[in-house]
Chains A and B, each alone.
Chain A
Amino acid sequence: MKDEIDEMVRDTYRYFYVDGLVEVAIGFLFLVLGLVVFAWLNLDTTSWPGILAVVALIVFTIGGSAIVKRVVGLVKERVTYQRTGYVAYDRGEPGVGRWPVVLAAVLLVLLLSVLPDPLTKMPFVVGALLGILLAFMGYRVSLIRFYLLGGIAFAVGLAAALLVADELVGATLTFAGSGLALLVSGAIILLSYVQEHPQVGEE
Chain B
Amino acid sequence: MDDEKIRALIDVDRIVHEPARLMILAVLSAAREADFLYLLNATALTKGNLSSHLSRLEEAGYVEIEKSFVGKQPRTVARLTGSGREALASYRNQMQAVLKAR
CB of A88 within 8 A of CB of B32, answer: yes
Q: How far is the CB of A40 from chain B (nearest CB, A)?
A: 39
Q: Interface readout for B71-102 with A: 1 if CB under 8 Å, 0 if not?
A: 00111110000000000000010011001000
B interface majority secondary structure: helix
Q: Let me know if B33 and A87 touch, CB within 8 A.
A: yes
Q: Quick one: given A2-B96, A15-B38, A200-B37, are A86 and B75 in contact (CB under 8 Å)? A: yes
Q: Does A12 contact B (CB under 8 A)?
A: yes
Contact of A117 with B by CB under 8 A:
no
Q: Chain B contacts of A200 at CB under 8 A?
A: 37
* Chain B contacts to A: CB under 8 angstroms: 22-23, 26-27, 29-42, 47, 70, 73-77, 92, 95-96, 99
Taking a contact as CB atoms under 8 Å apart, the answer to whether A202 and B75 are in contact is yes
Contact B26 A8 (CB under 8 A): yes
**Most chain A beta carbons < 10 A, residue from B27, B31, B35, B47:** B31
Taking a contact as CB atoms under 8 Å apart, the answer to whether B34 and A85 are in contact is yes
Residues of A bordering B, CB below 8 Å: 1-2, 4-5, 8-13, 15, 77, 81-82, 84-90, 200-203
A69 CB to nearest chain B CB (Å): 15
A123 to B47, CA, bound (A): 53
| Residues A5 and B34 in contact, CB atoms below 8 Å apart | no
Contact A12 B30 (CB under 8 A): yes
The contact sample of 23 A-B pairs, CB cut-off 8 A, is: A1-B95, A1-B99, A8-B27, A8-B42, A9-B26, A11-B42, A12-B30, A13-B30, A81-B70, A84-B37, A84-B41, A85-B36, A85-B40, A85-B41, A86-B38, A88-B31, A89-B30, A89-B31, A89-B32, A200-B37, A201-B73, A202-B74, A202-B75
Shortest beta-carbon distance from A165 to chain B in Å: 48
Report the separation of the CA atoms of residues A4 and B42 in the bound assembly, to the nearest whole angstrom.
Answer: 13
Cα-based distance from A202 to B77 in the complex (angstroms): 11
A12-B27, A77-B70, A203-B47 given; A86·B92 CB < 8 A: no
- Given A12-B42, A77-B70, the answer on whether A202 and B32 have CB atoms closer than 8 Å is no
Contacts A2-B92, A90-B31 hold; do A85 and B37 have CB atoms under 8 A apart?
Answer: yes
Question: In whole angstroms, what is the CA distance A201 to B74 when docked?
Answer: 8
Complex A-B, nearest 7 residue pairs according to Cβ-Cβ distance, in ascending order: A85-B38, A85-B37, A12-B30, A8-B26, A86-B35, A9-B30, A5-B26
Q: Is the CB of B27 within 8 A of A88?
A: no
User: CA A23 – CA B75 in complex, angstroms?
Assistant: 27
Q: How far is the CA of A4 from the CA of B38 in the complex (A)?
A: 18
The CA-CA distance from A202 to B67 in the complex, in Å, is: 11
A87 to B30, CA, bound (A): 10
